[in-house]
Amino acid sequence: MSSEGSTHALTVSSEEAGERIDRYLASKLPDCSRAQIQRAAKAGVLTVDGVAVKVSHKVKDGQTVAVQLIRPEDPEGAPIPEQIDLDIVHEDDDIIVINKPAGMVVHPAVGHRTGTIVNALLGRQAISGAEKSLQRPGIVHRLDKGTSGLLVCARNESAHRALAVQLKERTMSRIYVAVAWGHFKTETTEFEGAIGRSVRDRKRMAVTEGGRPAKTTATIRERFGLADLLELSLETGRTHQIRAHLTDAGHPIVSDTDYGGGATHLKGIDPARRLLGRAMLKAIDRPALHARQIRLVHPVTNETLTFSAEPPEDFLHLLAICRE
């Protein structure tokens, strides 16, 4: 998502004149949601040539459109501490590395106010008091609800800043494994399509013109009858980056129903092999994606640390089905 609190200024071209300002911004800022634009308008920080406007305003050639993306108000207040068991891979005074189970949400959001990683970290007193007023305390990066694997969180503000710099400068490496439908022609494939919000479905991300630069490298680790086991490394960390890149390449992740990897994918498979495909989908009920390794520099000791976590049972069950 676009950074909360950031301001964007754009100049309208003659081709874009006459378009509603909310649609104009949605096309120019793919990671900016309509809800963010509406919040900006209500707060008076959506302007045209310095004058606040409504989302229905139609832009004109040569005008300067500015929008400040502000943090939404949370009527339910700051996250509450909860006693939730976590699989801790590493913990010290500055960082905590968690092996997140599939199905667990990272931070509170609409519909997921409790039971998240943040609630659990607060319950363990693993986050400094100064950060408890934030909605995403300690969260340096995130994993989707359906993705299992390693997540590093900061225990204090200085560690958070240092880890955020590593993410921005791409010195923190993250390696994933996934089972993707079909077969790649080469052992290693690089994806560099820019990623932004899908025009067809605003809940999804897609490779799209005007999106943010993204790079994923996929290496085949094992070939199966209907799919490949991939090792994926991220040079950037866009929302749904791996899922969007693989789907754009025609190889959606097995059981990733939001990105075409569910039962609908079986329609394109040889009828004689659909039984295997259905068994694969039955083996795992979430995207077959796991964050297996993180390498980072400790924010205080400057030691290079590498953490690993093997895939959980459902992922291993899928691999067993594929190998049969």
pLDDT of residue 72: 55
Mean pLDDT in the chain? 89
Predicted TM-score of the model (pTM): 0.76
User: What is the rounded CA–CA span in Å between residue 146 and residue 167?
Assistant: 22
pLDDT at residue 117 in the model: 93
Q: What is the model's pLDDT at position 77? A: 58
Catalytic center residues: 144
Task: Report helix angle 34-43 to 21-28, nearest 10.
Answer: 130
Residue 188 to residue 221: CA distance in whole angstroms: 10
135, 108 Cβ separation under 8 angstroms? yes
Tens of pLDDT, residues 195-232? 998 888 878 899 998 888 999 999 999 999 999 999 99
